[in-house]
Amino acid sequence: MIIMLKYSKKSIVIFLCIFAGSLTVAFSVFAREVDVSTRTLVLAGNQDITGSKTIDFSISGGEVVGASGTMKVYLSIDGLYQGGGSFVVRIDGDPLSDQTFTLPNVPDSATFSFIYIDRAHKLAATTAGTYMHTLTLLANGVSLSTVSVHATNSYTREIGNNCPDGLPSTEKTKTVEYFISGVPAITSMMTLPISYAINDDISAISGAVTSAYVELSGHYDGAGTVSLYFNDPLRDGVTYALPATPNPAKFDLLSVNAKDVFQHATGGAYTQQFTIDPKGITLSSVSMKLVLSYVFHPAQSGCGGFPATGEAESAVLDTGATGDVLYNSLTWRGVLGGANGNVGKVRFQFASASCANGASDYPTCSVGGWNYVGGATCSSGDWFTTLGPDIPFDLFRSGCVAAVNGKEYYRYKVQLCADDCVNQGVSTPVVDQVFVSWSP
């Protein structure tokens, strides 16, 4: 690290040179992707709805990569109802997102369980973050009670550069869920595709897929049977006899464990077929999901890639000004990462003090410490994010004026982010010089 000072009439500019090699490590260029599924409470199970109710809720997720394309969110809606009619689920006040669920007339309270499908893609996202939405339930002819809603968000995210796979002794098991479909009514044989992915290394593991079955739920009318199978009804199928009921009844069915059908030698994206064949009955408001479990090799830790962040701290710098000091801007020269120079971030924190040791009780200057601040919160846990090289960051209008101005001594930290300051990356920004501009 080299410090150089350049003097001008109105300001003193400090150069901080950081050699690129100081923040680099050996890396490989293959990204590792993992399946993630989160479940969030949207509406607690103590809500009664006779007309319309709207609530705010949020969906959070990490960076989406790979075959999943977007975050895939569905809502699980459960509760009790009386009467006969329907209710509508609406997202963000948009009628195009409406999904209507029909409830048969019952003399007493009955349970219901539905899955809302985000066909309008109101809940889908492709970048990391927390997204705010509204949920509206519109009841028509029915009274809903003890209603609860959960949001399940599934996506594939990158966790950094690929590391060598672990030893067989470190094998782990993972269970993932893939929503198949929601069907208003099934009166005859229906075959649906099941799209799923195994985003872990399962090579050289015999019988890696340990379990694979479909959960099927909804209501039925009549009396008869329903058969569930994948390719062969005799080999991987099951048939359920559903008794006659005076009113439409709720059902929850499981397919056979078709682990042999879903067995693969390597990870990847796959498709299978699933058939529902009702005879003598009508299925309504049907929801289906695949529950898949498999053994995989976890990656070894502590290897590969540029780290998510690297930091350097300046020396204590003296403006030499005895009066008030106004800190104007921070500017850096260098390049961002990637072939096109647009990958990663360069961020700063700034600290100033009345004494060279960081204390603010001049002239006593008791032992103190440097209080670095940054970001919109002007706190030690936040950073000023620059827009790129040679673009000044306006310290004076950053909201941290009271925390930094009027003090003779200062320091700063510069942080290099390989990607989004959370994940490892395949490249890193390079900062050659840092300029701090101040005025007496």
pLDDT in tens, the chain (440 residues): 232 322 222 333 333 333 222 222 222 333 455 666 677 777 766 678 889 999 888 887 766 655 446 778 888 888 888 888 999 999 999 999 999 998 888 777 788 888 888 888 898 887 777 788 999 999 999 998 878 888 888 777 665 544 555 555 567 778 888 888 777 789 999 999 998 888 788 887 888 898 899 988 888 888 899 999 998 888 888 999 888 877 778 888 889 889 999 999 988 889 999 999 999 999 988 888 898 888 887 755 444 467 778 888 888 888 888 667 888 899 999 999 887 888 899 999 999 888 888 888 888 888 777 889 998 888 888 899 999 999 999 888 888 888 888 888 889 999 998 888 877 777 788 888 888 888 87
**Residue 280 contacts residue 222 (beta carbons within 8 Å):** yes
**Residue 43 contacts residue 135 (beta carbons within 8 Å):** yes
User: Buried b / exposed e across 318-351, counting CB within 10 Å, b at 16+?
Assistant: ebeeeeebbbbbbbbebbbbbeeeebbbbbbbbb
**Residue 378 contacts residue 395 (beta carbons within 8 Å):** no
pTM check: above 0.95: no
**Residue 133 contacts residue 149 (beta carbons within 8 Å):** no
Beta bridge partners of residue 111, listed in sequence order: 80
Contacts of 191 (CB under 8 A, 6+ apart): 273, 274, 275, 276
In 162-204, DSSP assigns E strands to 172-186, 190-198
Tokens representing 418?
């390989």
Q: What is the pLDDT of residue 207?
A: 87
Length of the chain: 440
C-alpha–C-alpha distance, residues 364 and 229, integer Å: 82
Q: What is the pLDDT of residue 74?
A: 85
Q: What is the pLDDT of residue 377?
A: 87
Contacts of 149 (CB under 8 A, 6+ apart): 41, 42, 43, 75, 76, 77, 78, 135
